[in-house]
Structure 1
Amino acid sequence: MSDSQRFPVAAHALAYLAHKGAYSPAEAAASAVLAASVPTNPVVVRRVTAMLARAGLIATRPGASGGAWLLRRPEQITLDQVLKAVNGCAHLGSPPAGAKGCPVSEHIPRQVAKALTAADQAASAALAKISIADLLAENPPSLAGLEPHASCPVAA
């Protein structure tokens, strides 16, 4: 799974668990069920749910009767928490070390790293205003006036 897919898969999985009311082991959703909803491979879902479990957003149980369930209400899970759980920003990359002796190459990596920090902080601040519950709502205030990103396929 590419790094760029972790966040959307994680947000989708959490929204699915909230929609299904999965708040206990008895209501757990299997990775195959989550994968069918995303749609992606169950292995991808298991990798993402493992990250969400390490972050304390969900719990999981392995095996044939296993699955995942929420540890918090969807209103209490913000998308910046989800982003952090799956390891960061939109993976804009990291600057290469640079060539020794080149004044540009010795300076630019540090400055690009600062720019990436700024982007990460801006993304986190924006996502902190949006909860998993907002993703399930028809017209939540947190998403008012926004259109889907141009690079994202949107079901009609």
Structure 2
Amino acid sequence: MSDSQRFPVAAHSLAYLAHKGAYSPADAAPSAVLAASVPTNPVVVRRVTALLAKAGLIATRPGASGGAWLLRRPEDISLDEVLKAVNGCAHIGSPPAGAKGCPVSEHIPRQVAKALTAADRAAGEALAKITIADLLAENPPSLAAFAPHSSCPVAA
């Protein structure tokens, strides 16, 4: 699964669990159900939920009666925590190694890497202000000033 896929799948899965009120093993949502909601393959969901469980955001139980459930309320889970949980970053690329002997090529990758760190930090700060509960709300203050990103498909 690509880095760019983990965060949206994780945020969607957490929002689904909150929407369904999955706060205990009795209410656990199976990976196939989560996958149908995203939509993606259940294997992708299981990989993401394993990362979310490792971060302490959810718990999971394997098997036919298994699934995932939230360990925290959706208003207490910020999207920067979700991004960190899935080892994500505001991935806008990575600098090439550069050519030996070229003063520009030896200098630019380090500077581009610093710029990427700045972008990642800014994304984390923005995501820290948005919670899973905000994703479920009709027009939460944390997202009210924004339109959907132009590269993202939006359901009608």
> Quick check: TM above 0.5?
yes
Residue 53 of structure 1 deviates from its aligned partner by 0.8
Contact 1:78 / 1:130 at 8 angstroms: preserved in 2? yes
Residue 94 of structure 1 deviates from its aligned partner by 2.1
Contact 1:129 / 1:142 at 8 angstroms: preserved in 2? yes
1:4-43 alignment runs, 5 A limit: 4-43=4-43
Give the structure 1 partner of residue 153 of structure 2.
153
Cα distance in 1, alignment partners of residues 150 and 55 from structure 2: 30
Give TM-score, length-normalised by structure 2: 0.97
Give the structure 1 partner of residue 128 of structure 2.
128
Give the structure 2 partner of residue 142 of structure 1.
142
Unaligned stretches of 5+ residues in structure 2: none
Give TM-score, length-normalised by structure 1: 0.97
Task: Give every structure 1 segment of 4 or more consecutive aligned residues whose post-TM-superposition deviation is greater than 2 Å.
Answer: none
Contact 1:74 / 1:132 at 8 angstroms: preserved in 2? yes
Cα distance in 2, alignment partners of residues 70 and 22 from structure 1: 6
Whichever residue aligns with residue 4 of structure 2, its letter is: S
Give the structure 1 partner of residue 98 of structure 2.
98
Give the structure 1 partner of residue 54 of structure 2.
54
Give the structure 1 partner of residue 112 of structure 2.
112
Cα distance in 1, alignment partners of residues 15 and 45 from structure 2: 13
Residue 88 of structure 1 deviates from its aligned partner by 2.3
Residue 75 of structure 1 deviates from its aligned partner by 0.4
Q: How many residues align?
A: 156
Deviations along 1:106-153, one digit per CA (max 9) or x if unpaired, are 101110110010000000000000000000011111011210000000
Contact 2:15 / 2:133 at 8 angstroms: preserved in 1? yes
Unaligned stretches of 5+ residues in structure 1: none
Q: Give the share of equivalent positions with the same residue, in percent.
A: 89
**What is the DSSP-based 3-state SS (H/G/I as helix, E as strand, rest coil) of the residue aligned with 2:142?**
helix
Contact 1:88 / 1:120 at 8 angstroms: preserved in 2? no
Whichever residue aligns with residue 17 of structure 2, its letter is: L
**What is the DSSP-based 3-state SS (H/G/I as helix, E as strand, rest coil) of the residue aligned with 1:40?**
coil
- Aligned Cα root-mean-square deviation (Å): 0.9
